[in-house]
Amino acid sequence: MFRQVSAALILAPCLFFGLLVGAREAGAEILPAALPALAPGDLLFKGADTGAGTQLAVAWSLGDKRWGHVGIVVGNPDGSLAVIHADTGARREIGHVRRVSLAEYLSDVSGLGVYGIDLEGKARADYLAYAESAVGRPFDKAFSIESENSLYCSELVWRAMSAGLGEDAIPEKSERLGRIYVSVSDLADHPRVHERAVIKAAAATASH
């Protein structure tokens, strides 16, 4: 029982993201037009104040404490962009890895971090291919990195990066209460990941 509770607390930003979006700042939304030019592979980090769940990331991320959820930008055949992320779903829904429009991903966000990733050529292609292949997998409510049959948000990105690099992208992961996990800050602080812009809904402006 303790193990289940501690696992939920460790990765609560992902667990409660879909359940507690109602607690987000009223009217918070960022429009796609407010973002800098994006490329497939970029990472979009939702601010810790998006909802009550993401706020818990501050306590459990051991590095950058601004972010509580993350998704990977991917391209559509028509040239538009989408986002792949591991989503818990609404109440009583079974969460899974989803491919959503950029507008839908941004619809509840009051603060957003736009990050680039240093993967090129085949490495970037393999990274994106993994993300696409993961769509439809169930959300990992156990928050375990022992299996990739189900995924939570930061685990999805870590595994995609590892597929691109051909090795474990984060050999030294976060650890608390005797559990090893991939936190949102493990990704934001990664040497291959770099901040490009921070967008705030209120002013719809970016600081570079």
| 102 neighbors 81 (Cβ within 8 angstroms) | yes
pLDDT of residue 203: 45
Q: For residue 200, what are the contacts with CB-CB under 8 A and spacing of at least 6?
A: 30, 110, 111
Q: CB atoms < 10 A from the CB of 146, how many? A: 8
Sign of the torsion formed by the C-alpha atoms of 40, 45, 51 and 57: positive
| pLDDT at site 188 | 95
194 φ, ψ to 5°?
Answer: -135, 140
Which pLDDT score, from 0 to 100, does residue 141 have?
83
> What pLDDT is recorded for position 50?
57
Q: What pLDDT shows up at residue 55?
A: 54
Nearest to 97 by CA among 171, 151, 166: 151
Which domains are seen in the chain, by residue range? Answer: 2-207 (3.90.1720.10)
Mean pLDDT by 10 residues, the chain (208 residues): 44 45 51 95 85 53 76 96 89 88 90 96 98 96 91 96 98 90 93 96 51
Number of H helices, E strands in the chain: 8, 9
CB 173 within 8 A of CB 181: yes
So what's the pLDDT on residue 89?
75
The terminus-to-terminus CA distance of the chain in angstroms comes to 45
pLDDT of the residue at 48: 67
CA 69 to chain CA centroid, nearest Å: 4
Residue bearing tokens 């490009």: 196
